[in-house]
Amino acid sequence: MILVAVAAYLWGVARVRRRGGSWPLRRTLGFLILGVGSYAVIELGFLGTESADLRFAFTTRIALLIFAVPAGVAAGAPLDLIVRAGGPAAEARVAALLRSRPVRLFGNAIFATIFIAAVFCLFLTPLAGVMRTTPWTDAGLGVITPLVGLAMVLPMGALGAVHTGMFITIEFLLAFVELVIDSIPGILLRLNDTVIDAGASVAGTAGWWPTPLHDQHLAGDLLWFIAEAVDVPILVILLVRWMRADRTEAKSYDDLSDEQYEELTRAHLRGDRAA
């Protein structure tokens, strides 16, 4: 995955330059370091190698794969790169993709709140132990989880012109609710004095190796912290989208002629009287 992602991105950058354009170095570095680099550190480092043995490594790994890695990839603006590298045909395909129902569903904070809360609630069930200790499931999560995160993160920065200002306002308010909802699974893991995960526990030889219950409490602490920390950039993205949508709507009113504006006002007043 790492080699394919790096090769595809650099091929896109080279294609943009062959077409006579330029691509910011900061975006390339953002994709390689924050996106692919963070994925490599998570999957090939401590969290990935100890994920099957430690509950806190498993929950932290999944949370970072669904939050941090997609955010790092988004810093490289891959959708913009596809448009720049492919020209008008690619731009039309990306626009059609963003207008599709699945992308619009994944790309709003309402769905993200419910979906991520549901994913985190799996850590409160014995299923978490099965996923953690089954090799093919654990490996599959390393591929599927960041892709699902990308499906939610990438459209968020590009749907400002698709969603109305009222819809984005609702998303913005719901994001504040998400601050509480996302933290509930972590809090429950931390406060529960019974090991919920039915997976096997490995007794490490190192002195710092936690007991099963302490392992679960650490998982709750880290899950709680990550869920709260990542809501801040989401709020920033929604704020930017709301500002863009507000400017777009304001411009649409400014472009109206006096006659069109008066007709719009009369239609609005007729609707108020009918209500």
**22-43 residue pLDDT tens:** 899 999 999 999 999 999 999 9
Rounded Cα gap, residues 72 and 65, in angstroms = 10
CA 4-64-150 angle, 5° bins: 50
Q: How confident is the model at residue 133 (pLDDT cuts 50, 70, 90)?
A: confident
**Is the confidence at residue 274, as pLDDT, over 50?**
no
Residue 197 to residues 14, 194, 271: CA-CA distances in angstroms?
48, 9, 57
Q: State which residues form the domain around 236.
A: 1-270
Q: Which residues in 20-53 are b (16+ Cβ under 10 Å) and which e? A: eeebeeebbebbbebbbbbbbebbeeebbebbbb
Mean pLDDT of 106-110: 71
CB 39, CB 3: distance < 8 Å? no
When the pLDDT of each residue in the chain is averaged and rounded to a whole number, the result is 80
Query: Rg for the chain (alpha carbons), in Å?
Result: 22
For residue 168, tell me if it sits in a domain.
yes
Helix (H) or strand (E) holding 66: helix 55-74
Sign, CA torsion 34/108/242/95: positive
238 or 213: which leads in pLDDT: 213
Q: Give the number of domains in the chain.
A: 1
Q: Which of 178-182, 214-218, 265-269 reaches the highest mean pLDDT? A: 214-218
Rounded Cα gap, residues 149 and 235, in angstroms = 16
Range with lowest mean pLDDT among 54-58, 101-105, 138-142, 239-243: 239-243
Rounded Cα gap, residues 246 and 240, in angstroms = 10
For residue 275, tell me if it sits in a domain.
no
Predicted confidence at residue 162, as pLDDT, reads 46
For residue 34, tell me if it sits in a domain.
yes
**Is the confidence at residue 264, as pLDDT, over 70?**
no
Predicted confidence at residue 230, as pLDDT, reads 72
Task: Find where tokens 């330059």 sit.
Answer: 17
**Is the confidence at residue 122, as pLDDT, over 70?**
yes
Predicted confidence at residue 161, as pLDDT, reads 44
Predicted confidence at residue 31, as pLDDT, reads 94
Crossing angle, helix 135-156 and helix 55-74, to 10 degrees?
A: 30
Backbone angles phi, psi at 65, to 5 degrees: -65, -35
How many CB atoms are closer than 10 A to CB 141? 20
For residue 76, tell me if it sits in a domain.
yes
For residue 133, tell me if it sits in a domain.
yes
For residue 94, tell me if it sits in a domain.
yes
**Is the confidence at residue 238, as pLDDT, over 70?**
no
For residue 156, tell me if it sits in a domain.
yes
Rounded Cα gap, residues 127 and 17, in angstroms = 48
Mean pLDDT of 163-179: 61
**Is the confidence at residue 252, as pLDDT, over 80?**
no
164 or 46: which leads in pLDDT: 46
Report pTM. 0.74
